[in-house]
Amino acid sequence: MALLDIWNGAQGLVNTIASAVIVLLIGFIIGKVLGKLSQRGLHELEINRILKKAGVRFGMEEFVGRLIEYLIYFVAIVIALDQLGVTTFALYLITGAVFAVLAIAFLLSMKDFIPNFIAGLRLNYKKVFSAGDTITVGSVSGKVKELGLLTTTLESKNKDIIHLPNSILIKQEVRVRKR
């Protein structure tokens, strides 16, 4: 009788592990497929091109595709751990840690973006200078090639290309020579 109990217990354990592995495999396949589909859908909408015209040089299509892919991976891992009988507390702890890391990463990535974006809006609204004007900021001088939402591109007398964050243009004195 004891041998039969061990056999049944081992069989139940194998079934549990197998179902967790199947959940992981299906989750990873679905994550990969939906990530690629969302990336292609955003590419069809030309999101990167629209953002580039707005002065934002960021691969949003790839970012959203990867984000969806990894979120589905995460859900599959959580479901697989649940299949293995990991306690709810451990799942909440893992989920909380992942969201905390994501929140911190997001906030750190925004610390330079937001001031530059707001400064870009102010510069475009006030029309302090425009393309073709020559400006001097501190020891940097050059002809304005492009005034974007995040950076302003200058061309120096030596034909060097200089990218200035817009927040610097708001904080420092800017001398403008109109074309």
Domain count along the chain: 2
pLDDT digits (tens), the chain, 179 positions: 566 666 666 677 788 888 889 999 999 999 999 999 999 988 888 877 877 777 777 788 888 899 999 999 988 988 888 888 876 777 778 888 888 998 998 888 788 888 888 888 888 888 888 888 888 888 888 998 988 888 889 998 898 898 889 888 888 888 888 76
Residue with tokens 């200089």: 162
Q: Crossing angle, helix 88-126 and helix 60-83, to 10 degrees?
A: 170
For helices 60-83 and 2-44, the axis angle rounded to 10 degrees is 170
Give the range of the structural domain holding residue 17, as residue numbers without chain letter.
Answer: 2-86
Instruction: For 172, list phi and psi in degrees, rounded to 5.
Output: -105, 165
| Residues 124 and 56 grouped into a single domain | no
The tokens of 83 are what?
């299949």
Q: Give the Cα separation of 131 and 134 in Å (integer).
A: 9
Phi/psi zone of residue 138: left (φ > 0), alpha (ψ -120 to 50 degrees), beta? left
> Domain for residue 23, yes or no?
yes
Q: Please indicate, yes or no, whether residues 77 and 118 belong to a single structural domain of this protein.
A: no
Residue 15 has what pLDDT?
84
Tell me if 12 is assigned to some domain. yes
CA quadruple 170, 172, 178, 179: dihedral, nearest 10: -90
